[in-house]
Amino acid sequence: MILQKVKYYTREALHNLWQFKTRHFFSLTIIGLSFVIIGVFLSLSNNLRFRAGELSKNLTVVFYLHKNVTASERGLIEDEVRRSPLVGAVRAVGPEEASDKFVKDFPELKDILLNLNGSPFPASIEASLKDPGLSTEKILQFIAEVRKNASVEDVQFNRDWADKIRSLGRLAEAVGLFLGGILVLASFFIISNVIKLNVLARKSEIEILRFVGATNTFIRIPFFLEGVMLGVAGSVLSLLIVFILIKIFPFYLGSSLGALKEIVGFRYLTPAQALALVFGGGSVGFLGGLSSLARFLRI
Amino acid sequence: MIELYHVWKQYQKPHWALADVTLSVKKGEFCFITGQSGSGKTTLLKTIYREVIPTEGQIIIGGKNILRIPDHKIYSIRRHMGIVFQDFRLLFHKRVFDNVTIALRVLGAAPRDMKRKAFIALRMVNLHHKIWDYPSQLSYGEQQRVAIARAVVNNPRILLADEPTGNLDPALAHEIFGLFREINKQGTTVVICSHDKELIRRFGGRVLSLHEGKLHGKDSR
């Protein structure tokens, strides 16, 4: 008996979706696009968090030296850095090597470098820290010690970068949820109104069902299902669009952004995020149906 | 089977659609409610299937006071009733089979059971050969016969018909009344609202006459 009813509900919901396909196609597109906004920002945030994680795994402090530093002064600083118990490996990077790295990362800007006489980059000493879990305080203490040396002009510590990138990731997520949230709210009203139209279109059928002894639940379930199906289909559509975007975006960007491409990129949504989007779609559909039926199908 | 006690219904002041109607229809009875347009026939029928709540009075169906049943439970009463309307109220986008079995679907009947019962109901109205047609492919008379099949497919205890022949010519009307007589012979209590006095006279049965909401001739057999 229950199986027969489930079959009936599903068939009725699918039949209604097909019967008013133009209306449903437009609402599906809007629901899909709303979830695409969330999906895109989540994927951007995923990438930023991933990059921040990669940076944190390999903590590096770079000491930039004055341009006119002598080889012996450089050797002294290198020794001082190496002596620190926090440091695992030390690498000295000369101005030419820095220049080569820049050309590799930003090939479009190669000509600018060629027009300059010699490398504009200072020599540096890169210190890879032993333990990625070291406290920032200890590291800053170590940096301050080395910085006392007059030959050190500037210091770059990649944990700062990692933190900044992580913040950017959080910001992207928040922007996505905010914009997506507004659009999802719009989707809710769209579903609610589409179901209201469907209820009105099936007024005579609902009346007959009441006269032959249908329960409220029996009459309402197909409409709920319609809402849920629309919501789920919209969110699945959005996942598909996000997947295609992630595939296409690198081709669109080409190599114009150089090393920045790594940061301004997308990463696939995690299974939990994808499931949450689909669940969100279903919930929006269910609530849209609920709000519509509560107002327009009082039996 | 159907008992109404001092039923009053007012839609708008000062006119009473039903005024102190008290009647009793016994199980298996064949009963007509007659009267001119606006006399309250449809309102009376609607109070029996509780589409309309009386302003005052009590309505007992099968021993239950239907006015005490909450709205969401009224289906339990309607499942024992078959209702036939003047305008047939068929679903034109569904086949005859789906129209007839709608009352079985709400009960979650198995497909085989639905087919068997739909066939029996349609054979009774002599439309079993049109089970897979759409209502738009049928004549008015046939459409009303489909509506009757829908009303009786569930073997209801009570069959209510509101001007079932209002849109049909005399020959078809005669045929439809004949069907109601057949259904009644099988034990179903039948209450028909009609203003066609000639047909009522020809088919016999108990006649209740309404005039301006008041019942006259409580047993004019």
Give yes or no for B214 touching A (CB within 8 A).
Answer: no
- pTM value is 0.70
Segments of chain A with pLDDT less than 50 = none
List CB contacts (< 8 A) between A213 and chain B.
Answer: 75-79, 81, 103, 106-107
How is chain B classified by DSSP, letter by letter? -EEEEEEEE-SBTTB-SEEEEEEEE-TT-EEEEE--TTSSHHHHHHHHTTSS--SEEEEEETTEEGGGS-GGGTHHHHTTEEEE-TT----TTS-HHHHHHHHHHTTT--HHHHHHHHHHHHHHTT-GGGTTS-GGGS-HHHHHHHHHHHHHTT--SEEEEESTTTTS-HHHHHHHHHHHHHHHHTT-EEEEE---HHHHHHH-SEEEEEETTEEE-TT--
Q: Is A60 within 8 Å of A262 (Cβ atoms)? A: no
φ, ψ for residue B138 (rounded to 5)? -105, 160
- Determine the pLDDT at residue B136: 94
pLDDT in tens, A240-293: 998 888 887 776 666 555 555 666 667 788 889 899 989 998 998 888 888 888
CB-based contact B75 A205, cutoff 8 Å: no
A173 CA: distance to closest CA in chain B (Å): 45
Give yes or no for B92 touching A (CB within 8 A).
Answer: no
The Cα–Cα gap between B8 and B18 comes to: 5
Token digits of residue B100: 């007839």
Find, in chain A, the residue whose alpha carbon is nearest to that of B155. Answer: A212
The residues that bridge with A237 in the sheet, in sequence order, are none
The amino acid sitting at A186 is A
B76 CA: distance to closest CA in chain A (Å): 7
pLDDT in tens, B150-173: 999 988 999 999 988 887 788 888
The Cα–Cα gap between B43 and B154 comes to: 24
pLDDT average, residue stretch B50-74: 91
Q: Is B7 within 8 Å of B54 (Cβ atoms)? A: yes
Coil, helix or strand at residue A189: helix
Coil, helix or strand at residue A233: helix
Say yes or no to pLDDT of B15 above 90. Answer: no
φ, ψ for residue B33 (rounded to 5)? -115, 120
Of the candidates B98, B44, B47, the one whose C-alpha atom is nearest the C-alpha of residue B215 is: B44
- Which of A211, A215, A299 has the highest number of chain B CBs within 10 A, making it the mutation to test binding with B? A211
Q: A-B interface: how many C-beta pairs under 8 angstroms?
A: 55
List CB contacts (< 8 A) between A205 and chain B.
Answer: 91
All structural domains of chain A, each given as residue ranges with its CATH number in brackets, are 2-54+163-296 (no CATH), 60-131 (3.30.70.3040)
- Determine the pLDDT at residue B58: 94
Find, in chain A, the residue whose alpha carbon is nearest to that of B88. Answer: A208
B83 CA: distance to closest CA in chain A (Å): 7
ipTM: 0.87
Q: Is B78 within 8 Å of A211 (Cβ atoms)? A: yes
- Of the candidates B72, B93, B106, the beta carbon closest to that of A213 is on B106
Find, in chain A, the residue whose alpha carbon is nearest to that of B152. Answer: A212
Give yes or no for B14 touching A (CB within 8 A).
Answer: no
CB-based contact B91 A208, cutoff 8 Å: yes
The Cα–Cα gap between A254 and A251 comes to: 5
A203 CA: distance to closest CA in chain B (Å): 11
Please report where in the chains the tokens 């006279």 appear, as a residue.
B201
Stated as kind and residue range, the H or E segment containing A87 is strand A87-93
Of the candidates B133, B129, B130, B78, the one whose C-alpha atom is nearest the C-alpha of residue B107 is: B78
CB-based contact A213 B75, cutoff 8 Å: yes
CB-based contact B75 A2, cutoff 8 Å: no
Of the candidates B133, B163, B162, the one whose C-alpha atom is nearest the C-alpha of residue B146 is: B133
B221 CA: distance to closest CA in chain A (Å): 30
A200 CA: distance to closest CA in chain B (Å): 15
How is A13-61 classified by DSSP, letter by letter? HHHHHHHTHHHHHHHHHHHHHHHHHHHHHHHHHHHHHHHHHHHHHS-EE
List CB contacts (< 8 A) between B76 and chain A.
Answer: 213
The Cα–Cα gap between A248 and A266 comes to: 10
CB-based contact B103 A218, cutoff 8 Å: no
The Cα–Cα gap between B130 and B122 comes to: 8
- Determine the pLDDT at residue B219: 46
- Determine the pLDDT at residue A135: 75
Please report where in the chains the tokens 């409580």 appear, as a residue.
B218
Q: How confident is the model at residue B30 (pLDDT cuts 50, 70, 90)?
A: very high
Q: Is B159 within 8 Å of B101 (Cβ atoms)? A: no
Show Cβ contacts of residue B156 under 8 Å, excluding neighbours closer than 6 positions. Answer: B79, B80, B81, B82, B188
The Cα–Cα gap between B61 and B82 comes to: 14
The Cα–Cα gap between A273 and A43 comes to: 9
Q: Is B143 within 8 Å of B85 (Cβ atoms)? A: no
| Mean pLDDT computed over every residue of chain A | 82
- Determine the pLDDT at residue A252: 67
- Which of A7, A212, A218, A299 has the highest number of chain B CBs within 10 A, making it the mutation to test binding with B? A212
Of the candidates A149, A141, A142, the one whose C-alpha atom is nearest the C-alpha of residue A66 is: A149
The Cα–Cα gap between A24 and A285 comes to: 12
CB-based contact A8 B110, cutoff 8 Å: no
- Of the candidates A1, A19, A299, the beta carbon closest to that of B108 is on A1
Q: Is B32 within 8 Å of B192 (Cβ atoms)? A: yes
Q: How confident is the model at residue B220 (pLDDT cuts 50, 70, 90)?
A: very low
